[in-house]
Amino acid sequence: MRLYEMTAAELSRRLQSREVSSAEVVRSFLERIDEVDPYLRAFITRTPDLALKSAGEIDSRRMRGETLHPLAGVPIAVKDNISTLALRTTCASRILENYIPPFDATVVAALKKAGMPILGKTNLDEFAMGSSTENSAFFPTRNPWDPGRVPGGSSGGSVVAVATGMAPLALGSDTGGSIRQPASLCGVTGLRPTYGRVSRYGLVAFASSLDQIGTVSTTAFDGALLMNLIAGYDPLDSTSLPEEVPDYRAGLEPGLDKLRVGLIRYGRVDGFDPEVTEAVNKAASMLEEHGAKVGEVSLPLTDYGLSAYYLIAPSEASSNLGRYDGVRYGFCADGDSIEAMFSRTRGEGFGAEVKRRIMIGTYALSAGYYDAYYLKAMKVRTLIRRDYEKAFKKFDLLLGAASPTPAFKLGEKTEDPLQMYLSDVCNITDSLAGMPSLAVPGGFHSSGLPLGLQLTARPMQEKLLLKTGRFFEEQRAEYPLRPSLDFLEERGGDYEI
């Protein structure tokens, strides 16, 4: 087994026992990136020199006998909407193409403090708006299980990096499914923590009341390792939660006795692949066989959740993205007046999907429409939270699909925004309610593409999610799942990008 095929936990063990050096580990991942990334394009910016430099530092600190963080020396990839000091942070947008932050996001500062070398910044849908990573202003990322398909989005780059061994771990962000949906489309594990559990300081805002930074990993245990590092109160983010951070690794051993699981019956949601429903049902039986009590639960507002989400998120986005005006940073168009400069900068700097959402949001907040759109959506959000409260009176955990279908084809939905939005239908209500939610591999579609399960728990119950995620891993013959990437050999060097 090569180093890049190992889990973060295994790398951590070998680093701590000094079987390998961080420099060796980082080199292995860098070589893998060189081999795979030209075809899949998970990274916007690669930082091999920086990664090797911090690996070297960690190695010499370890040589000196310093006590290090368990993840010290384990490299990581960071979604390119998370601010990195002196390192270009683009949000996959032309408007921030050359933007260099003068500060680190709180999570990035934590990675650096722990001594995790950063391999690079990963691709995403522009400003995290999208479900396929096709909305990147630079290039789309491809699905490693089928390069003709999308990896999902918006954290497509992070997910593909982890799925293919270009990074053992990655940070993503999830506003309305942006970690969970791509994780399920690429066969990896993605955690959206409780809103406020991980600091948002330095995460470029899309929809502030929904955005959360989360983990992408090949196993639930690796997710727990990373959560130990990034979760917690941050005095720089006043929406972050002060509750103590548990050791997410402790007590993850399977044992489902008396676990009450609610199997979600979706209401009138179109476009569900029957094999997805089958996979979810199978997962439910597995839980039941191992001592869990499974019952059915309906979240009747799922369908309305999508509508509410597509008012709330764009509204907040329209405000959050006002700052890209060509004055202090970012792309700036010419204009002989301030008005002309503002409008041209934004008209030319933003891509189509971002502009669509800014338009919807501006409209939904504007005079005369606020009550009918934004305010109404926020009331629906209250109803959705009540749905959850009700469900969690009966169940400890909700089980459903992380995506209604396996990965779809590149270009299939780019001309139809509504169809694209529907691919997040399973993820959105959790986001609106602020609940933690985990996507974990749930077998394969007959086409050979991976399918994902989604687990949702009460606020702050990430550990229960990870524990259950771990249970599903143990049921599988092999994990982590690795795509074969045969196409690299088949197509050789002339694979069309």
List, by residue number, the catalytic residues. 79, 154, 178
Q: Smaller CB distance to another protein: residue 45 or 307?
A: 307
> Site residues for another protein, window 349-368 (CB under 8 A)?
350, 352, 355-356, 358-360, 362-367
Written as six digits, the tokens of 246 are 């548990």
Minimum gap (Å) between residue 182 Cβ and another protein: 21
Nearer to another protein, 93 or 164 (CB): 93
Distance CA 35, CA 37 (A): 6
Least distance from another protein to the Cβ atom of residue 370, Å: 8
CB contact set of 85 (below 8 Å; sequence gap of 6+): 101, 102, 103, 104, 108
Partners of 457 in the beta sheet? 397
According to the binding rule CB under 8 A, does residue 245 interact with another protein?
no
| Closer by beta carbon to another protein, 275 or else 303 | 303
Q: Give the amino acid at 488.
A: L
Q: Does 205 bind another protein (CB under 8 A)?
A: yes
Q: Which stretch binds another protein (CB under 8 A): 57-65, 287-295, 344-352, 464-472?
A: 344-352
- Using CB under 8 A as the binding rule, whether residue 262 contacts another protein is answered as no
Q: Per CB under 8 A, which region of 145-153, 182-190, 217-225, 318-326 contacts another protein? A: 318-326
Shortest distance, CB of residue 234 to another protein, whole angstroms? 9
Q: Is 98 in the site for another protein (CB under 8 A)?
A: yes
> b/e per residue, 447-480, with b = 16+ CB within 10 A?
eebbbbbbbbbbbbbbbbbbbbbbbbbebeeebb
Interface with another protein includes 330 (CB under 8 A)?
yes
| Residue 130 contacts another protein per CB under 8 A | no
CB of 196 to another protein, least distance (A): 5
Instruction: For residue 194, give the DSSP letter.
Output: P
Cβ atoms 241, 186 nearer than 8 A: no
Amino acid type, 308:
A
Contact between 52 and another protein (CB under 8 A)?
no
Question: Interface with another protein by CB under 8 A: which range of 42-50, 296-304, 403-411, 446-454?
Answer: 296-304
Determine if 235 is a binding residue for another protein (CB under 8 A): yes
Tokens of 401: 């699909």
Decide whether 277 or 362 has the Cβ nearer to another protein.
362
Stretch that binds another protein, among 34-42, 142-150, 164-172, 431-439 (CB under 8 A): 431-439
Distance separating alpha carbons of residues 479 and 5, to the nearest angstrom = 11
Q: What is the C-alpha separation between 438 and 213, in angstroms, rounded?
A: 13
- Contact flag: residue 380 with another protein (CB under 8 A): yes
CA–CA separation, 7 vs 99, rounded Å? 33
User: Segment 144-203, which members bind another protein (CB under 8 A)?
Assistant: 195-196, 200-203
Q: Given the complex with another protein, which of 208 and 298 has the nearer CB atom?
A: 208
Determine the Cα–Cα distance for residues 124 and 55; give it in Å rounded to an integer: 26
User: Which tokens sit at 61?
Assistant: 């600190």
Closest to another protein by CB, 144 vs 434, is: 434
**Element of type H or E holding 296:** strand 293-298
Q: Sheet of 293-298: strands edge to edge?
A: 43-46, 118-122, 76-79, 169-174, 212-217, 189-192, 437-444, 450-457, 397-401, 260-265, 293-298
Q: How many residues bind another protein (CB under 8 A)?
A: 98
The rounded distance, in Å, linking the Cα atoms of 358 and 67 is: 48
